[in-house]
Amino acid sequence: MDIDRPEIVAEVTAAFERYERALVSNDVETLNALFLPDARTIRYGGAENLYGHNAIAAFRAARSPAGLARTLSRTVITTYGTSFAVASTLFQRPSVAGKIGRQMQTWVRFNDGWRIVAAHVSMIDESTPR
């Protein structure tokens, strides 16, 4: 199996960056499009456990657009073959002082492009060792 083929890393990086732009601008339509529309798609958030695309979309629709700006660090995108990848990043939000966020996404290539099939977002105290 090929790990981190440059052209595949570039594809997933572009999808990840599209997700990030949509997230901070509260582009709900794009965020929904990037998650696989399937009942098996999962997103664990800071205060919610969302099972299925419908639950994720409902969360996005109800979420406040305030305070979404963030700065990413230590982003790692690892691809396995040509159809599977994991994107991991740390983030900081001015609206959440003293905390560091952690985000992991599992991406799979389908006929219509790269989609997130599982995601986990959490925050810890910034003083916790990295």
**Dihedral of CA 35/38/39/42: which sign?**
negative
CATH number at residue 110: 3.10.450.50
Residues contacting 74, CB < 8 A, separation 6+: 88, 89, 90, 130
The model's pTM is 0.93
Q: How many domains does the chain have?
A: 1
Asked whether residue 104 is assigned to any structural domain, the reply reads yes
Asked whether residue 1 is assigned to any structural domain, the reply reads no
Q: What is the mean pLDDT of residues 61-78?
A: 93
- Check whether 71 has a pLDDT greater than 70: yes
User: Please, what is the average pLDDT of the chain?
Assistant: 95
Please tell me the predicted confidence (pLDDT) of residue 65: 87
Asked whether residue 27 is assigned to any structural domain, the reply reads yes
- Token readout for 102 is 């952690």
**Confidence at 128, pLDDT banded by 50, 70, 90:** low
Q: What is the mean pLDDT of residues 68-97?
A: 95
Asked whether residue 68 is assigned to any structural domain, the reply reads yes
Asked whether residue 40 is assigned to any structural domain, the reply reads yes
Question: Domain limits at 108?
Answer: 6-125
Other CB atoms within 10 Å distance of the CB of residue 40: 10
Please tell me the predicted confidence (pLDDT) of residue 112: 95
Please tell me the predicted confidence (pLDDT) of residue 129: 62
Distance CA 112, CA 130 (A): 36
Asked whether residue 31 is assigned to any structural domain, the reply reads yes
127 or 38, greater pLDDT: 38
Distance CA 33, CA 68 (A): 19
Asked whether residue 94 is assigned to any structural domain, the reply reads yes
- Check whether 15 has a pLDDT greater than 70: yes
